[in-house]
Amino acid sequence: MTDTQGKVYIVGGGPGDPELLTLKAKRVIETADVVIFADSLVPPEVVEFAKEGAQVHGSKELNLDEIMELELSAVREGKTVARVQSGDPSIYGAILEQMRILDQEGVEFEIIPGVSAAFAAAAVLKSELTVPEKAQTIIMTRMEGRVAMPPGEKLKDLAAHGCTLVIFLSITRMTQVVRELTSSGYTEDSPVAVVYRVGWPDQKVIRGTLKDIADKVRAAKITLQALIIVGDAVDPEQHVAGAVSHLYSSEYTHRYRRGQEAVTGTQASGNGEG
Ligand SMILES: C[S@@+](CC[C@H](N)C(=O)[O-])C[C@H]1O[C@@H](n2cnc3c(N)ncnc32)[C@H](O)[C@@H]1O
């Protein structure tokens, strides 16, 4: 590599809505000489900010060698590359293998985080994924399929925690998902939401329980690009009543604010972070 080599940016392209790009992601896409975007999950609108004359490639029909060849040849010519992934690149982004090659080749790279479909879906569902007293943990996972799960990470094992589960890459195995979950920490009445193509114009939201969700998904003919979120976090009843977080409680003292009760007696206190 010469001193004039370019740089690769691995960019979180968000779930599909271009307005969910970070300002940094947009700037990198606008200034890159070469833009390679995961066009199976990222719509062209997300990369339409590419400058005139930039080379723009969809990657869905390319293999890793072909993608890396595009990246490395551009960098060797001193160009900047934006490799735009869906959502946040750190979640099922297949970026490890790219980073290994970039490291081996001595290429400078930087990761720009993005809005994961998980968080865009929570927003569309108007859900807090951490529900006081019910779910203080979020597990992001997938159903075992062609990719084997490591020991202890089968859906059944994870379901035993009964917390909020965000399941990627599994919509075609809905019946199996339901079977695994109901055999462990959830019941047929557990709330579930499926969000299809969040942030796209044809986004769909399906709500139900583990008893009826598979039928509803089948009826809606959803077979790809959907997230399954399970647990109290997606129970619409949470909007009506339930425990509240300490953070903004008038009685709770923390680093930044003295609770009303502190004047008269002892009480729980925290660091003001939640
Ligand atoms: C290879 S993973 C990429 C996840 C991505 N890195 C993220 O943070 O959202 C692809 C899976 O993510 C989920 N996904 C990605 N984009 C989505 C969207 N716009 N709406 C719903 N699910 C989406 C689906 O479960 C899909 O099968």
- Report the candidate in 38, 54, 57 with the shortest Cα–Cα distance to residue 6: 54
Please name which of 224, 230, 226, 268 lies closest in space to residue 246, comparing C-alpha atoms.
268
Q: Which residues of 247-264 are buried (b: 16+ CB within 10 A; e: fewer)?
A: eebeebbbeeeebeeeee
Q: Is 227 in the pocket of ligand 1 (CB under 6 A)?
A: yes
**Interacting residues of 73 by C-beta distance below 8 A, sequence separation 6+:** none
User: What is the rounded distance in angstroms from the CA atom of residue 32 to the CA atom of residue 49?
Assistant: 10
What CATH number corresponds to the domain at position 156? 3.30.950.10
- Do 136 and 235 fall into the same domain? yes
The model's pLDDT over 48-62, given as tens digits with 9 standing for 90+, comes to 999 999 999 999 999
Q: Of 60, 94, 115, which closes a domain? A: 115
Residues 222 and 137 in one domain: yes
Q: What pTM did the predictor assign?
A: 0.92
Kind and range of the H or E run holding 29: helix 23-31
CA distance 35 to 83: 6
Residue 269 lies in a domain: no
Mutation pick for ligand 1 pocket among 140, 227, 228, 229 (CB with most ligand atoms within 8 Å) = 227
Q: Which atom of ligand 1 is nearest to the CA of 114?
A: 8
Indicate whether 96 and 168 sit together in one domain: no
Grade residue 274 by pLDDT with cuts at 50, 70 and 90: low
- Which pair of structure tokens corresponds to residue 269? 């206190």
Instruction: List alpha helices for 44-91, DSSP H.
Output: 64-76
Q: Report the pLDDT value the prediction gives residue 269, as an integer from 0 to 100.
A: 63
The last residue of one of the domains, among 115, 141, 161, is 115
Indicate the average pLDDT of the chain.
Answer: 93
Residue 267 domain-assigned? no
Best residue for ligand 1 mutational test, from 41, 196, 222 (most atoms within 8 Å of Cβ): 41
Assess if residue 190 is contained within a domain. yes
pLDDT digits (tens, 9 = 90+) for 208-259: 999 999 999 999 999 999 999 999 999 988 888 787 777 777 778 888 888 8
Question: How would you class 103 by CB atoms within 10 Å of its CB: exposed for 0-12, middle for 13-18, buried for 19 or more?
Answer: exposed
> Is residue 261 assigned to a domain?
no
Distance 259 CA to ligand 1 centre (A): 41
Q: In CATH, what number is assigned to the domain containing residue 99?
A: 3.40.1010.10
Please report, for residues 81, 136, 159, 191, the alpha-carbon distance to residue 230 in angstroms, rounded to integers and kept in the order given: 37, 14, 9, 6
> 60, 39 in Cβ contact below 8 A?
yes
pLDDT of residue 213: 98
Kindly state the helix (H) or strand (E) to which residue 102 belongs, with its residue range: helix 96-104
How many domains does the chain contain in total? 2
pLDDT at 120: 98
Whether residue 126 sits in one domain with residue 58: no
Is residue 250 in some structural domain?
no
The verdict on 124 and 107 lying in the same domain is: no
The alpha-helical segments, DSSP class H, found in 125-238 are 155-159, 174-182, 213-219
Helical (H) or strand (E) element with 99: helix 96-104
Q: What is the DSSP string of 113-132?
A: ----HHHHHHHHTT--SSBT
Confidence of residue 207 (pLDDT cuts 50, 70, 90): very high
Domain termination residue (choose one: 115, 142, 168): 115
Query: Which atom of ligand 1 lies nearest, measured to the CA of 41?
Result: 16
- Choose one of 92, 205, 217 to mutate for the ligand 1 pocket test, by most ligand atoms within 8 angstroms of C-beta: 92
* Statement to judge: residues 170 and 130 lie in one domain: yes
Cα–Cα distance measured from residue 247 to residue 122, given in angstroms and rounded to the nearest whole number: 20
What pLDDT does 266 receive?
A: 46
For residue 94, being part of any structural domain is answered with yes
Q: Considering the domain boundaries, does residue 12 fall inside one?
A: yes
Largest CA distance in the chain: 70
Question: Using CA atoms, how far apart are residues 247 and 257, in angstroms rounded to an integer?
Answer: 10
Count CA atoms closer than 13 A to 74's CA, side-chain side: 25
User: Does any domain span residue 1?
Assistant: no
Residue 20 CB–ligand 1 contact under 6 Å: no
Range of the domain at 111: 7-115
